[in-house]
Structure 1
Amino acid sequence: MALILITGASTGLGLAAARTLTAQGHSVVVHTRSPDRLPDLAPYAFVHGDLSHMGETLSVAGQADAFGRFDAVIHNAGVYRDPGALQVNTVAPYLLTAAMAKPRRLIYLSSGYHLDGSTDLDGIDFAETRVRPGAYEDAKLYETTLAFAVARRWADTVAHVVDPGWVPTRMGGPGAPGDLEAGHRTQEWLATAPEEEIVPRTGGYWYHRKVSRSHPAASDPDFQHALLERLEAHTGVKLG
């Protein structure tokens, strides 16, 4: 059975995935922003930290590494129209990826909105503290690009991206038209399925267990390099 970390798992898709994977017999470590956000009926181990702050994000990485090398990390945590869109959706997954021991599998949750993200990195402030139009779209493009960069750089770790769809969670809202159950099945499958069942082996952009279209810039090595340079400069932490 697998050892799996899920970020942002106190509610929504993260909690649903934690419950399913635990029921399947896997060992799940749940990340929450603070200890008072523990899920009800949770038989999980926990790590805590506010991913909008780099110091707390690095603390989460240290807490997680205490469990040993993970078989899979699901980067589920995210915010929508929020001042911390870039910090939570891009900087935090970058820092956790760079600072933690390399897991066997990495799964990043993106969004179809990443297709509208800007490739103009010169105008991006990763420390911005305002609700900026387009910040969510940009952040999800950068997270997708990070995943593809890891897939290209790390031969011994597979990395995939999941678009869960617009589903009725707290972030998606009660009127979201997507299938909530389908919204967490793909990341569970990518975290635990036999490797030979997953094609491509690494670097896939998935929607409901099917490979889907991603922004062409996310697969561009030059854009990947430019993004990683900016994230390294912003965080002071280098991706190996």
Structure 2
Amino acid sequence: MARIFITGSTDGLGLASAQSLLDDGHEVIVHARTTGRLGAVQELIDRGALGVVGDLSDTAQTRDLADQVNRSGPVDAVLQNAGVLGGPHIFQVNVVAPYLLTALIHRPHRLIYLSSGMHRGGRFRLAGPDGPGGGDGSRGRGGSGGGDGSGAPSRVSYSDSKLYVTALSAAVARLWPDVLSNAVDPGWVPTKMGGPGAPDDLRLGHLTQEWLAASTDPGALTSGGYWHHQHRQQPNAAVLDPHLQDELLDYLAQLTGERLT
């Protein structure tokens, strides 16, 4: 049985994954933004899940979250599920936090990053001529840099953030051949983020990430994939560009002071 850490697991797909994996006999670490939110997963904690706390919009708390996981012992898989649809912290929560947790948590056997079909509409627009967060776009690839004082690029859309995190998944697969790193498009499912009218199947929305986290099926033992409902698909071509991957990794290393090695 595997030991699996799931970010953003107090509701939606993260909670569903935690429930299913616990039902299957795996050891699960659930994550809440605040101590108060742990109440939402009390039933899972009563069944043996471990709860950890940290606000992914805050770099210091994200670092502490990684430390909590490391202190609890080695994990076999990390399911990077947490995300926000918009707002001032979209780059921090959807991109920087997964990068930091990847860099700081003792290297697991498997990493799964939640992407979206909307990543295909995203654009790389990280650093202008004045460095990260400055200038008027990255090598002419559309959009503008800007920043909010934190070094993060301004005007990051949800599609942009999911393009970045999907590229991060592919970069990790390339740099760490001993780790199975994959991205998952869960579909448009009826969660708090997706809304009650979302047309896709909720069960299929969390099945693939559970399969990649714990299954011994040959398909689940591959790396560098972009998956939708257990079928490997072709992502935005930028995801597979090693030069863009390295640009993203360099940008995030400058922003956080942590480099993937």
| Range class of TM-score, shorter chain | over 0.9
Aligned to 1:151: 173
1:65 and 1:35 mapped to 2: Cα distance? 19
1:194 equivalent in alignment to 2:216: yes
What letter corresponds to residue 142 of structure 1 in structure 2?
Y
Post-superposition Cα deviations, 1:73-112, rounded to whole Å, max 9, x if no partner, equal: 0000000022211100000000000111100000000001
Of structures 1 and 2, the larger Rg is shown by: 2
C-alpha spacing 1:130/1:231, structure 2 compared with 1 (3 Å): closer
Partner-residue secondary structure (3-state), 1:41: helix
1:217 equivalent in alignment to 2:238: yes
Aligned to 2:2: 2
Candidates 161, 184, 192, aligned match of 2:183: 161
Candidates 93, 100, 111, aligned match of 1:95: 100
1:234 and 1:129 mapped to 2: Cα distance? 7
Candidates 30, 40, 43, aligned match of 1:41: 43
Aligned to 1:141: 163
Post-superposition Cα deviations, 1:122-165, rounded to whole Å, max 9, x if no partner, equal: 23448489994x52111110000100000000011110000001
Aligned to 1:20: 20
Aligned to 1:106: 111
Aligned to 1:32: 32
1:89 and 1:193 mapped to 2: Cα distance? 26
1:238 equivalent in alignment to 2:259: yes
What letter corresponds to residue 51 of structure 1 in structure 2?
L
Kept in 2: contact 1:81–1:131 (CA 8 A): no
Q: Could you tell me how far 1:238 is from its partner in structure 2?
A: 1.0
Aligned to 1:52: 57
2:217 and 2:56 mapped to 1: Cα distance? 30
What letter corresponds to residue 65 of structure 1 in structure 2?
N
C-alpha spacing 1:233/1:111, structure 2 compared with 1 (3 Å): same
2:198 and 2:152 mapped to 1: Cα distance? 27
For structure 1, which segment, 31-40 or 190-199, has the greater mean C-alpha deviation from structure 2 after superposition? 190-199
1:76 and 1:104 mapped to 2: Cα distance? 17
What letter corresponds to residue 237 of structure 1 in structure 2?
E
2:31 and 2:100 mapped to 1: Cα distance? 15
Q: Could you tell me how far 1:222 is from its partner in structure 2?
A: 0.3
Partner-residue secondary structure (3-state), 1:198: helix
1:81 and 1:198 mapped to 2: Cα distance? 31
Gap runs ≥5 in structure 2: 128-143
What letter corresponds to residue 156 of structure 1 in structure 2?
D
Give the ranges of 4+ consecutive aligned residues of structure 1 lying more than 3 Å apart after TM superposition.
123-132
Kept in 1: contact 2:125–2:153 (CA 8 A): no
Gap runs ≥5 in structure 1: none
Superposition CA RMSD, Å: 1.7
TM-score (norm 1): 0.94
1:193 and 1:69 mapped to 2: Cα distance? 18
Candidates 182, 185, 193, aligned match of 1:171: 193
What letter corresponds to residue 204 of structure 1 in structure 2?
G
1:232 and 1:141 mapped to 2: Cα distance? 18
2:234 and 2:33 mapped to 1: Cα distance? 32
1:117 equivalent in alignment to 2:139: no
Q: Which has the higher contact order (CA 8 A, sep 6+)?
A: 1
Q: Count residues in correspondence.
A: 238
1:113 and 1:175 mapped to 2: Cα distance? 17
1:173 and 1:130 mapped to 2: Cα distance? 28
For structure 1, which segment, 15-24 or 61-70, has the greater mean C-alpha deviation from structure 2 after superposition? 61-70
1:130 and 1:108 mapped to 2: Cα distance? 21
2:64 and 2:217 mapped to 1: Cα distance? 31
Q: Could you tell me how far 1:239 is from its partner in structure 2?
A: 1.1
